[in-house]
Amino acid sequence: MTILIFLGALIAAIAIGIPIAYSLLLSGVALMWHLDMFDAQILAQNVLEGANSFPLLAVPFFMLAGEIMNVGGLSKRIVNLALSLVGHVQGGLGFVTILAAVMMASLSGSAVADTAALAALLLPMMVKAGHDKGRAGGLIGSAGIIAPIIPPSIPFVIFGVAGNLSIGKLFLAGIVPGVMMGVSIALTWWLVARREGAQTPPKATRAERLKALRESTWAMVLPVIVLVGLKMGIFTPTEAAVVAAVYALFVSTVVYRELKLHQLYEVMVAASKTTAIIMFLVAAAAVSAWLITVAQLPTQLIELLQPFMDSPTLLLVIIMVLILLIGMAMDLTPTILILAPVLIPVVKAAGIDPIYFGVLFVMNGAIGLTTPPVGTVLNVVAGVGKMKIDQVARGVLPFMCAQIIVLFLLVAFPQLVLAPLHWFYH
């Protein structure tokens, strides 16, 4: 009955158009009323404590780093490097998109920021070369969702806070799955692009490649600094976010000199707006998370799923299908905030590594960013490319299927995630 009241209040509030953050607060109030413990002071206290978290400081700094990189020329130089390396092969601009997405993912951690940059830089080039606009947009959207998987990742920060897990371990565990997502859409693009017969840019000379590499070196040093620093314990994920933002600011203003001081205010405002949305969601979800614990919802869910607890793989398949369905109607951040506190005790009880589960969860939620009707990344591509969202949705379908196959491959073979993680931590 408790689960039904919580979910019923949440779904009803969302259904009538109430924003997710307020819906979370309303479902929390409904649960407090049901448990006969409504207290406005407790409600306010949990909202304040929800946002009062040191690890969550990583969110505004990673958002700022992403905004600075897009305005300050780091993203552009990464695309130029990818263009010089693989632009000349059949379907080369698609491979440029994928390679650039993987490299940018190691700098930003925001699917929206990376997708916007890729769409602005590469979509006109792909259309001009003769690629179908919807399919090109679909590829860019699918490539953009690699950002939440490869570190540094804002969703991993939120998942780590929501589930009380090591953010550093989540970061390192996401490297191999993120690369696998890139490889899967590269193979799919190879099959698709052969039938399009689009033009390819001329092959870059050795001098042009060296120039592109030299110009992008400053940008490519950043992920090395972050990963080495995390692995050697030099700084925490939160401190890594500060390092990323300061480094991006230094490179953009002093080295590349593309970010002017008068632009800095706009960059700060853009990062602040996105951060405010995320932090309000986190604060509102803290009320629900506290009440979920008080009402012992995870224990009730474990009892409901008891028939599947002896088969971790089957349990994971059921949970992954559930998250895929929810991801069609809800953005990644609220999905994490609502489901992580409930599901982590369940997977722990079934003997599933919570870090491994966190990677699968975020991967699954990231795929949801490319599924209609909500599909945040689809909306970004459609907005930048000035096309209808259903056109992008049709284009994204083959690449989304490839990424879902990778997801369930990781469900079947956990060591693909766990083995690299153990290597990083030994």
Q: How far apart are CA 58 and CA 157, in angstroms?
A: 7
Looking at residue 133, its amino acid is K
Give the pLDDT confidence score for residue 143 in this predicted structure. Answer: 92
Q: DSSP letter string over 74-115?
A: HHHHHHHHHHHHHTTSTTHHHHHHHHHHHHHHTT---HHHHH
Average pLDDT along the chain: 84
User: Where do the domains of the chain lie?
Assistant: 1-38, 54-424
| Residue 342, number of CB atoms within 10 A of its CB | 18
Give the pLDDT confidence score for residue 159 in this predicted structure. Answer: 93
Residue 122, CB half-sphere, CA atoms under 13 Å: how many? 40
C-alpha triplet 268, 24, 322: angle, nearest 5° = 100
Q: How far apart are CA 62 and CA 49, in angstroms?
A: 21
Calculate helix-pair angle for 376-385, 111-128, nearest 10 degrees: 40
- Asked whether 91 and 193 are in contact (CB, 8 A), the reply is yes
All residue ranges of the chain with pLDDT < 70 are 1-3, 196-198, 296-298, 373-374, 424-426
Q: How far apart are CA 193 and CA 411, in angstroms?
A: 29
Predicted TM-score (pTM) of this structure: 0.83
